[in-house]
């Protein structure tokens, strides 16, 4: 297979978007990032739990922080987007919250804010926090800016 390379001679992009590996969310996350946040070019690392992977880092050389560091240092990104999602297996899923959607969202907000704080210790960039919530009895994903 051969396909056109859109970025010949281009070595910078707008953002890095860190999301969870979960197959149920990443396509919709791309749509949100491109259509709602207006970010067209971005590195797109995925780690289990997204913010969890950052919060678990011991230092800058740990892989999750490298997933942020390489885009900052090599691709000159201006924005860092972190997306956590509902029913995330890395955190034990929604069952950890016994069906309390608000408690689950609050938990993820704390996780996301903690990851932002950690990232800001290393990189002086705009950090955008997003929670992908399951709504309408699990029929839809709603992306919420934290």
Q: Which residues bind Zn ion (CB under 5 A)?
A: 20, 22, 88, 90
What is the smallest separation between the CB atom of 88 and Zn ion, expressed in angstroms? Answer: 3
What is the smallest separation between the CB atom of 114 and Zn ion, expressed in angstroms? Answer: 16
Closer to Zn ion by Cβ: residue 30 or 41: 30
122 Ramachandran zone, left/alpha/beta (phi>0; psi -120 to 50)? alpha
As beta bridge partners, residue 142 has 133
Closer to Zn ion by Cβ: residue 16 or 90: 90
What is the smallest separation between the CB atom of 124 and Zn ion, expressed in angstroms? Answer: 28
What Å distances lie between residue 28 and 24, 35, 37, 68, 113, CA to CA?
Answer: 8, 10, 13, 21, 22
Closer to Zn ion by Cβ: residue 21 or 70: 21
């Amino acid at each position: 297979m051969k396909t056109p390379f859109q970025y010949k001679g281009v070595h910078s992009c707008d953002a890095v978007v860190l999301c969870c590996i979960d197959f149920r969310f990443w396509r919709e996350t791309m749509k949100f990032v491109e259509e709602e946040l207006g970010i067209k070019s971005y590195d797109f690392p995925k780690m289990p739990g997204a913010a969890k992977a950052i919060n678990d880092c011991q230092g800058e050389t740990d892989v999750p922080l490298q997933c942020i560091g390489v885009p900052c240092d090599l691709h000159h990104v201006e924005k860092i987007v972190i997306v956590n999602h509902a029913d995330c297996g890395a955190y034990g899923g929604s069952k950890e919250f016994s069906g309390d959607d608000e408690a689950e969202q609050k938990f993820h907000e704390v996780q996301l804010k903690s990851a932002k704080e950690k990232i800001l210790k290393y990189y002086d960039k705009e950090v955008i926090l997003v929670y992908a919530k399951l709504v309408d009895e699990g029929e839809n994903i709603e992306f919420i800016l934290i």
